[in-house]
Structure 1
Amino acid sequence: MPEVMWKPEPDKHDYPAAADYLALLAPPQQVKAIVAALEAAPIVHKKAKDLLRASRLPLLPVDNPHVSSDLAKIAKGKLLSPILVVQGDLSTDVALQVADGYHRVCATYHTDENTDIPVKLAPATG
């Protein structure tokens, strides 16, 4: 499997997608603050396996249409957009939230669970 290649910054449409997801979990003012924090956050790198573990999300199979599409992009050497995540909280047992990029995390994991993924990380308070 070829190396996963990443864009230097998330796509602009990733932020509204993250806001749509986060609106299911938090009130509008908190969502607005979190998205603003994501936009301002620096890129950090986290391993695919650690993102899945911290989020408590299952690894989607390679035949999932979105994972399959991302695997095809990886095979063609296309750049993927970095992932947007909201930090979890160990003291309250709140999992990390993958606000945008869950399928990209799964596709990357299928190539190599130790792959470093560029991530923008924001606190849940924004």
Structure 2
Amino acid sequence: MKTSVKKNPLTRDKLWLKEPEIHDFPAAQDYLELLYEPDKAQKIVEKLKKAPTITKKSKDILRASKLALLPETNIHVKENLKKVEKNKKLSPILLVRGQNELIIADGYHRLCCSYYLTEDLEVPCRLI
């Protein structure tokens, strides 16, 4: 499935919000509580809230996370692609440096969406 978005010149400012949305942080905490005790997960999220928003390439984030690229047919990836087609911006992703891999605390589907649009585009993220 090819999206019509690929025909338009994409820029970071067209695709991404400047700062994460407020609901991204509780979602990150829910995920991180699967990996860490709740107190530690909460402390990580507090650090993410204070971290500056930086940019990294989607292909590098995906490689560092060691996660598979979700298919374009994944419901959440498709929803994000539709958002972009409607000129709605995506929220930056929340990243945590793990022992030997990058943890995508929130934004895995948005990352996969951006990869399908262009793997070289800089993705806004918070990284701690």
TM-score (norm 2): 0.89
User: Secondary structure, in 3 states, of the residue corresponding to 1:78?
Assistant: coil
Aligned to 1:95: 101
**Bigger mean CA deviation after superposition, 73-82 or 58-67:** 73-82
Shift of 1:73: 1.0
Q: Give yes or no for the alignment of 1:32 onto 2:42.
A: yes
Q: Which runs of 5+ in 1 are unaligned?
A: none
User: Secondary structure, in 3 states, of the residue corresponding to 1:81?
Assistant: coil
Cα distance in structure 2, aligned partners of 1:16 and 1:68: 23
Aligned to 1:121: 127
CA displacement, residues 11-48 of structure 1 (integer Å, 9 cap, x when unaligned):
10100000000000001221111000000000010000
Q: Which runs of 5+ in 2 are unaligned?
A: 1-5
Aligned to 1:47: 57
Work out the percentage of aligned pairs sharing the same amino acid. Answer: 48
Aligned to 2:3: none
Which of 104, 108, 113 is the matching residue for 2:114? 108
Aligned to 2:68: 58
Give the letter for the 1:52 counterpart. Answer: L
Shift of 1:88: 3.0
Q: What value does the CA root-mean-square deviation take over the aligned residues?
A: 1.0
Cα distance in structure 2, aligned partners of 1:86 and 1:34: 8
Aligned to 2:20: 10
Shift of 1:8: 1.3
User: Secondary structure, in 3 states, of the residue corresponding to 1:107?
Assistant: helix
Runs of 4+ in 1 over 3 A off after TM superposition: none
Aligned to 1:67: 77
Cα distance in structure 1, aligned partners of 2:28 and 2:78: 21
TM-score (norm 1): 0.90
